[in-house]
Structure 1
Amino acid sequence: MKNKTMYALLISLFLLSGCDMIDYHPYDVRIKGETDVNAHNIERIEANCKGKTTLRFAVMGDSQRFYDETEDFVKTINKRNDIDFVINGGDVSDFGVTNEFLWQRDIMSKLNVPYVVIIGNHDCIGTGEETYKAVFGNTNFAFIAGDVKFICLNTNAMEYDYSEPIPNFSFMESQFEEHKGEFTKTVISMHVSPVSDVFNRNVSRVFHHYVTQYPGLQFCTVAHDHNVTVRDLFEDGIIYYGSTCMKDRCYLLFTIKPEGYDYEVVYY
């Protein structure tokens, strides 16, 4: 009996000491490391860009399972000294698995400049939205860099089956007035464009009408299509610029100046 008791004690000690060895379910939202990434980086963006009249920022997206290419993107950006921040247009995960978000966060955190991540349709799979919110923050958010307001939106309506208002027009309306007077220009960023099958195309023109109400609208950015695109979707002069996936080793570079903006496709 004594031997059995000792054996049971040893097993118990082994199990207790080996808790870190347990591999949880891939959709178990257990977050290690930094959370609220977007909020922390928005603080840096707004502080670093305060008073600037010229901004330069990179837009990329669909990093998904392209980890090596994303690491090389980070190294490429870090070699430059003329970029203020990076916008990741979404789909940092492929299957909504928790570790996918963490791996991409850890790669992007090596950037010398702050970055924000927009939610993509793949990021909504399984418990992906919950993980996205824990790691990066709200699925709709905005910030001001210099005199430009950046409005970042969740447009992945198909993934919600109309269970939530996506796009969220109430949020978009709130941004008309929030910090009014602190910005004269606007950029709208999202994962899927208003003509995508993932978007709620019943309201695509209504969405675009909202977009055009922002002061000094410069352009919109999208991802999702895995191609570089430049499209005047509604034939009114408002350009939707699309970034390709990281597999193509490519990002978009924008420079907003007092008299307009420049656009460049950069391969690395």
Structure 2
Amino acid sequence: MKRVILYGIVLLLCGCDLIEYHPYDVRLHGETGINAKNIARIEEICEGKDTLRFVLMGDSQRWYDETEDFVKALNKRDDVDFVIHGGDISDFGLTKEFLWVRDIMGKLKVPYVALLGNHDILGNGMDVFLKVYGKENFSFKAGNTKFVCMNTNALEFDYSHPVPDFTFMYNELQDTVGCPRTVPVMHVQPFNVEFNNNVARGFHALLLEFPGVEFCLHAHSHTLLHEELFEDGIPYIGCAAMKDKNYLLFTLTPGGYEYEVVYY
């Protein structure tokens, strides 16, 4: 009898799926390094294109059903090259939150990349993000357009971490050959309480050194926004959260850009 009980305990301990780890445990299963893999797909899909169509989606957080509906709606289209998740994948930085959204977004027919949001840094969320998605700052080229994706969640780092990272931005500025247009993307926009507003104007000025900046993108505010924060003709365009069941569809052409709000 003792042997049977002992054998049962061993089976229980060995069955990983039966064990509930701490919610902030960063032991992961399933796909990791998603951004790097999908950037390679995006660059291949968009190679040689002078017209691009991409989607900016907002904070998914706890809105899993709405995010699933987004994926189903987008999969019915055949005119989108890729998707950008603007950050706040999770609500509390819990490992399972990242994995739930990862598995939902993994059903997209087109590649996507995800930015780091301020909620994604809570708990051990930063560690999970780095494993599941990759670097906090990254860039990619789609056709002749360079997308510069930046961590701007300064408040969560107590200003002890370079957010925004000017060294990253400067290095990216040196790598714009063949890209006459740049699209800066961030989670938190300048002058929001989460942004390091001591450097807001310097941040914007450095962005404008990139070629062909016509607009900047962000999420975070959970509402649709189009604001000229620096009164220089460059709008900061923000998307709503997934709870509102809409996304922004951008079309870039050699002559300019346009976008629309798409409800699903």
TM bucket by the smaller chain?
Answer: over 0.9
RMSD over aligned Cα atoms: 1.2
Quote the residue 1:188 is aligned against.
Answer: 184
Q: CA deviation at 1:20?
A: 2.9
The answer to whether structure 1 residue 122 and structure 2 residue 114 are counterparts is no
Given the alignment, which residue of 198, 203, 209 partners 2:205?
A: 209
Assess if the C-alpha contact under 8 Å between 2:182 and 2:210 holds in 1: yes
Q: CA deviation at 1:162?
A: 1.4
| Partners of 2:104 and 2:11 in 1: CA distance | 34
Q: CA deviation at 1:136?
A: 0.2
Alignment size in residue pairs: 264
Once the two structures are superposed, residues 164-201 of structure 1 have per-residue CA deviations (whole angstroms, 9 ceiling, x without a partner) of: 110000000001112x3221100000000011100001
Given the alignment, which residue of 245, 250, 254 partners 2:250?
A: 254
Q: 1:80 to 1:164 in 2, by over 3 A?
A: same
| Partners of 2:151 and 2:50 in 1: CA distance | 28
The answer to whether structure 1 residue 170 and structure 2 residue 167 are counterparts is yes
Q: Does 86-95 or 12-21 show the bigger shift? A: 12-21
Unaligned runs of 5+ in 1: none
The answer to whether structure 1 residue 113 and structure 2 residue 110 are counterparts is yes
Quote the residue 1:59 is aligned against.
Answer: 56
Correspondences of 1:93-108 after superposition (within 5 Å): 93-108=90-105
Correspondences of 1:33-182 after superposition (within 5 Å): 33-178=30-175, 180-182=176-178
The answer to whether structure 1 residue 223 and structure 2 residue 251 are counterparts is no
Q: 1:19 to 1:44 in 2, by over 3 A?
A: closer
Q: CA deviation at 1:11?
A: 4.7
Larger radius of gyration: 1
Unaligned runs of 5+ in 2: none
Under a length normalisation based on structure 1, what TM-score does the superposition of the two structures give?
0.96
| Partners of 1:223 and 1:16 in 2: CA distance | 42
| Partners of 1:186 and 1:253 in 2: CA distance | 17
Q: CA deviation at 1:10?
A: 3.1
Q: CA deviation at 1:61?
A: 1.2
Quick one: which amino acid aligns to residue 215 of structure 1?
Answer: P
Under a length normalisation based on structure 2, what TM-score does the superposition of the two structures give?
0.97
**SS of residue in 2 equivalent to 1:218:** coil
Once the two structures are superposed, residues 137-171 of structure 1 have per-residue CA deviations (whole angstroms, 9 ceiling, x without a partner) of: 00000000000000000000000001211000000
| Partners of 1:146 and 1:218 in 2: CA distance | 16
